Amino acid sequence: MIQRIYLLTAILVCYTGIVLSQTAFQVIPLGVKGGSDESNLSAYLVAVKGTSNYVCLDAGTIHAGLQKAIERGTLKGTATDTQKNLIKGYLISHPHLDHLAGMVITSPEDSPKPIYGLPFCLDVLKEKYFSWKSWANFGNEGEKPTLNKYRYTPLSTENEIPLDQTSMQVKAFDLSHAAPGQSTAFLLRDNKNYILYLGDTGADTIEHSQKLRQLWQQVGPLIQTKQLRAIFIEVSFPNEQPDKSLFGHLTPRLLMNELAVLDTYSGHALKGLPVVITHIKPSGDNEVKIKKQLQELNTLQVKLVYPEQGVMLEF
């Protein structure tokens, strides 16, 4: 009898362990850097674990990133076929060129799909990029004639919007990026699991904004219930960068200050949460400095993750 109870307990422990450690999302970074290198700029493929229906969060580098993922064995086939078949849509956080150049340059070879974004961002895509002057208009709005390959799909900060051809939903949040510059955070949900991606953003203290606080207030409870699987957030500069030269970006110190606010909204449940550091500006020894500074300031004990181009992450 006692043996039987032990056995049942053991099975239960194993089962619970499996459930808790089950990953919900898979992410393939197509580009991870915060500037300069055209072959490795912000773009992250996200799918529900075990599926191949990806959305692409920002789209700085597409082709060269897919090529790298294929070389590394993460994806199979050609870059162009992968882009056509696996990427079901783009979510663009803000319209700076390093977050969308790859999408524009590869558009002639791409298949029809939606481009999601807040209206301010879609407006710049129509006006500045798919404008015939800088590129053929592959969109379904803007300068005539429209080639109708991409369907502009506005996101909402009020409601979740379904992501076409996936089982995921997304809610958008306003961010401040060198105010009055705007940017966006995407809270993706599949079933009960969430993943949060922030485009370029400054700290509330520097931006004289409440945007990050409002976001932390919303997602804090999802950390408490272990539903939020990971946060993707930028650290562009090391701590030495003067406040007046941040141009709407974060440093290790500013990130950790923001995460401390999030920690309070999560009932101090941040320990172990994967925080994926994006958009490091690659000049000089920034990367080494930023990693060292983050480690030293990580009193909250979040799990710091440094994405690599073409290497799959699971959360």
127, 285, 296, 314: residue in contact with its own copies (rule CB under 8 A): 127
96 is a contact residue toward its own copies (CB under 8 A): yes
69: left (phi over 0), alpha (psi -120 to 50) or beta: alpha
User: CB–CB of 176/248 below 8 Å?
Assistant: yes
Structure tokens that stand for 8 in this block: 């049942």
Give least dist CB 105 to its own copies, A. Answer: 6
Asked if 164 interacts with its own copies (CB under 8 A), we say no
Per CB under 8 A, 167 contacts its own copies: no
* Beta strands 303-305; 274-278: pairing state: parallel
Cβ proximity to its own copies: between 65 and 220 the closer is 65
Residues 6+ apart with CB under 8 A from 236: 34, 200, 246, 249, 250, 251, 279, 280, 281
**Closer of 67 and 278 to its own copies (Cβ):** 67
How many of the chain's residues bind its own copies (CB under 8 A)? 35
CA distances from 4 to 8, 9, 19 (A): 6, 9, 22
Q: Is 12 in the site for its own copies (CB under 8 A)?
A: no
CB of 39 to its own copies, least distance (A): 3
Q: Is 87 in the site for its own copies (CB under 8 A)?
A: no
Q: How far apart are CA 50 and CA 70, in angstroms?
A: 18
Say how many Å lie between the first and final Cα of the chain, rounded: 39
Task: Write the CA distances from 141 to 91, 114, 119, 298, 306, integer angstroms.
Answer: 17, 12, 12, 46, 37
Query: How many whole angstroms separate alpha carbon 140 and alpha carbon 148?
Result: 4
Per CB under 8 A, 209 contacts its own copies: no
Return the closest-CA partner of residue 167 out of 56, 88, 74: 88
Minimum separation from the CB atom of position 247 to its own copies (A): 8
Indicate the residue among 4 and 133 with the shorter CB distance to its own copies: 133
Q: Which residue in the set 28, 62, 219, 290 belongs to the binding site for its own copies (CB under 8 A)?
A: 62
Contact pick of 28, 56, 104, 196 for its own copies (by CB under 8 A): 104
Amino acid occupying residue 309: Q
Q: Is 176 in the site for its own copies (CB under 8 A)?
A: no
Q: Indicate whether 146 belongs to the interface with its own copies (CB under 8 A).
A: no
Instruction: Determine the interface stretch with its own copies among 6-14, 63-71, 266-274, 306-314 (rule: CB under 8 A).
Output: 63-71
Q: Does 79 bind its own copies (CB under 8 A)?
A: yes
Least distance from its own copies to the Cβ atom of residue 284, Å: 9
- 294 Rama class: left (phi>0) / alpha (psi -120 to 50) / beta: alpha
Q: 213 to 272, contacts with its own copies by CB under 8 A?
A: 247
Q: What is the contact surface with its own copies in residues (CB under 8 A)?
A: 35-39, 41, 61-64, 67, 79-80, 95-98, 101-102, 104-106, 108-109, 124, 127-129, 131, 133-136, 247, 283
